[in-house]
């Protein structure tokens, strides 16, 4: 089972039917750089979404010296609509409204990350399987079994797929069957 599925962002690399590596972006970059020119034929998948992704394999360039003032944090001002009682409560929180909303969002994200999301697992497995097993025998029936939450049928239909593809599809789909 690929490590880290459902935890911090992990990527999985495949060369044809062969599983190459699973890890965070820096681990995958190191594995692909070690492959040299053969890395051009590798497909990368984000384990959280099952979608194919690309990463930059060029050597990182030195960062420009940091200027004066506060660092840019990627803050994007947006508007949210709350009821007056919500604004009143936020006004009583330490750190102000923005800091409180950020804490609440981070707490919710952490709680969500700790609980497997069956629908997200189905979607991730679907996207991965479409890319890597779309022409395999039993693919369409396996997709139907996935969305019907029939683990036994899903495992049976994927049994004859190449082991790397089969095992990764099963690992991505596992939370959907719980």
Residue 114 has pLDDT above 80, yes or no: no
| pLDDT band of 99, cuts 50, 70, 90 | confident
Model confidence over 137-155: pLDDT tens digits? 999 999 999 999 999 999 9
23-81 pLDDT tens trace: 999 899 888 888 888 888 899 999 999 999 998 877 666 566 666 766 666 667 778 88
In this predicted structure, what is the pLDDT of residue 5? 47
Return the domain boundaries, the chain: 11-57+117-177, 84-114
Over the chain, what HEC string results? CCCCCCCCCCEEEEECCEEEEEECHHHHHHHHHHHHHHHHHEEEEECCCCCEECCCCCCCCCCCCCCCCCCCCCCCCCCCCCCHHHHHHHHCCCCHHHHHHHHHHHHHHHHHHHCCCHHHHHHHHHHHHHHHHCCCCCHHHHHHHHHCCCHHHHHHHHCCCCHHHHHHHHHHHHHHHC
């Amino acid at each position: 089972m690929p490590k880290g599925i459902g935890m911090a962002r992990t990527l999985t690399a495949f060369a044809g039917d062969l599983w190459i590596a699973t890890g965070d972006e820096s681990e995958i970059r190191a594995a692909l750089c070690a492959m040299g020119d053969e890395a051009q034929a590798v497909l990368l998948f984000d384990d959280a979404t099952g979608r194919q992704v690309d990463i930059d394999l060029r050597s990182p360039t030195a960062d420009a010296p940091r200027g004066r003032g506060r660092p840019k944090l990627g803050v994007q001002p947006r508007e949210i609509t709350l009821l007056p009682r919500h604004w009143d409560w936020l006004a009583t929180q330490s750190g102000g409204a923005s800091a409180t909303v950020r804490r609440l969002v981070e707490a919710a994200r952490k709680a969500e990350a700790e609980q497997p999301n069956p629908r997200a697992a189905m979607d991730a497995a679907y996207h991965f399987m479409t890319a890597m097993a779309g022409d395999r025998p039993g693919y369409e029936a396996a997709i139907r079994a996935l969305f019907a939450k029939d683990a036994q049928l899903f495992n049976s239909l994927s049994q004859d797929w190449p082991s790397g593809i089969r095992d990764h599809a099963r690992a991505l789909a596992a939370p959907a069957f719980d």
